[in-house]
Chains A and B, each alone.
Chain A
Amino acid sequence: MNKLQNMTVAMILSGLLMAVGNVIGYHVDWYSSLLGVLVIIVIGLIGMAVSQIPGLNKLPMVFWISIVAIIFSLPDFPGSAWVIQITKKVQFLAVTTPILAYAGLSLGKDIELFKKLSWKIVPVTLAVMTGTFIFAAIIAQFVLKWEGAI
């Protein structure tokens, strides 16, 4: 089985888990949840296909998938209102939960490596993450005010 087939299977599988979370956590019905997830998967697969085109494959897949999703949601794109209405039924948080569950299940292998590190890396990592978030947010706040966007 090649890499793209594997990716397709993984997308469908994780999409199903997202639908389950959408039904349990946000009380959306099964039909809307599955249909919404299906549309999201199809857009993801189109993005994946685009990213394989020679020449375009120089940029990461995440870029092309983003671009394809943005195009599908443009007001002028035919059927975009339908796409948005259908996918809106899938809650953002329901999409994130299975992803972070997979992330969690892979942490064990990092725990062993982590034990070998000095404790010093913990405050440093927290400072790195805080720095990138907070400085970007502060700059954004000032420029948004200046641009009159807020």
Chain B
Amino acid sequence: MDILRNWKIHLLVLMIVVMSENLGIVKYGLIILLPLLHALVLGGIISFPKFKILSTKQMEVAAGILPIAMMLLIVKIGLDIGPNLSLLFHSKGALLLQEIGHFFGTVILGLPIAVFLRMGRESIGATYSVAREPNIAIIAEKFGLDSPEGRGVMATYICGTLVGAVWLSILTGVVAKLGILHPYALAMGSGVGSGSMMAASVGSIIAAYPDMEQQIRAYAGAANLMSTILGIYVSLFFSLPLATKLYNFLSKFQSDKETAKEKV
């Protein structure tokens, strides 16, 4: 009964939930701060190692409950898909093709920045995917986690865990408020294949377009399901080779420029 014995964790979550929900949705201009964001930040502060409130063991229990609680969110979102099935079917092309954006968007935007910052071969592991658990497994199997690629994927995993949800929630809120992209398109964008990041992102879209709440969740849920299922295969067979090729190309260009500079 490991889960019940760690009552301190649940009591803290209860406290955090009461505080976060009382605070509610906070809006500053283009920025939307949701209760889930308050909860994440409050939890992060409480778990800060310096405060010694929680032991590493207790933090691991909290990390263990997270994916199980996430299943309830998956149910909640799944229940929005059935009533909107004909709507989703009507936009099946968009649902399928937007996955290209999910799988290659990380490389297209992330890799050039990583190479520019001279991260070396770590750039490949760091940017070939959103670096969630299945993506780590792929790199571990192909290169080992002690390789530069392995260090790269672990770095994005750790950093993504810390800032991913916060960043996506704020970014989505700003993009939604700009009103250039349709809320359905944003909803599909939010299905990145990580539960907490999707929740944070969808929450911000719903806060901006409350009257389309159910359809937004249906699109996000469908896209997230596709990212989760297809993600393993696409990132192994397409994204990783693409990231490697693009890295070899970009780094060649970089070293050429360096030698040119040295000659001068």
| A90-133 residues at the B interface, CB under 8 angstroms | 90, 92-114, 117-118, 120-133
Q: Give the residue of A65, A99, A117 whose beta carbon is less than 8 angstroms from that of B196.
A: A99
Interface residues of B in 93-121 (CB under 8 A from A): 93-95, 97-110, 113-114, 117, 119
Q: Give the residues from 1 to 36 in chain A that come closer than 8 angstroms, CB to CB, to chain B.
A: 1, 6-7, 9-11, 13-15, 17-18, 20-21, 24-26
Contact B163 A68 (CB under 8 A): no
Is A137 at the interface (CB under 8 A from chain B)?
yes
B255 within 8 A of A: no
- What's the least CB distance linking B73 to chain A, in Å? 5
What chain A residues lie within 8 Å of B200 (beta carbons)? Answer: 96, 100
How many A-B Cβ pairs are below 8 Å?
Answer: 425
Interface of B is mostly: helix
Q: Are A133 and B192 in contact (CB under 8 A)?
A: yes
B155 touches A100 (CB 8 A): no
Which chain A residues numbered 53 to 75 have a C-beta less than 8 Å away from chain B? 59-63, 65-75
Closest B residue, CB atoms, query A122? B159
A49 interface residue, CB < 8 Å from B? Answer: no
- Give the interface residue-count category, chain A: 35 or more
Knowing A95-B72, A99-B196, say if A136 contacts B101 (CB, 8 Å).
yes
B62 to chain A, nearest CB (A): 4
Is B80 on the interface with A (CB-CB < 8 A)? Answer: yes
Task: Tell me if B182 counts as interface (CB < 8 A to partner A).
Answer: yes
B75 within 8 A of A: yes
Q: How far is the CB of B231 from chain A (nearest CB, A)?
A: 10
Can you list 30 A-B pairs with a CB-CB distance of less than 8 A?
A: A6-B2, A10-B65, A10-B68, A11-B69, A17-B17, A20-B18, A66-B225, A70-B85, A99-B36, A99-B195, A99-B196, A101-B40, A101-B42, A102-B63, A105-B46, A108-B48, A109-B47, A109-B56, A120-B114, A122-B163, A126-B167, A128-B127, A131-B105, A131-B107, A131-B108, A132-B103, A135-B102, A143-B97, A147-B90, A149-B184
**Known A100-B196, A137-B185; further 18 A-B contacts with Cβ < 8 A:** A1-B1, A13-B3, A40-B75, A62-B225, A66-B77, A92-B202, A97-B21, A97-B35, A103-B66, A104-B42, A105-B46, A106-B43, A133-B105, A135-B100, A136-B188, A137-B181, A140-B94, A143-B97
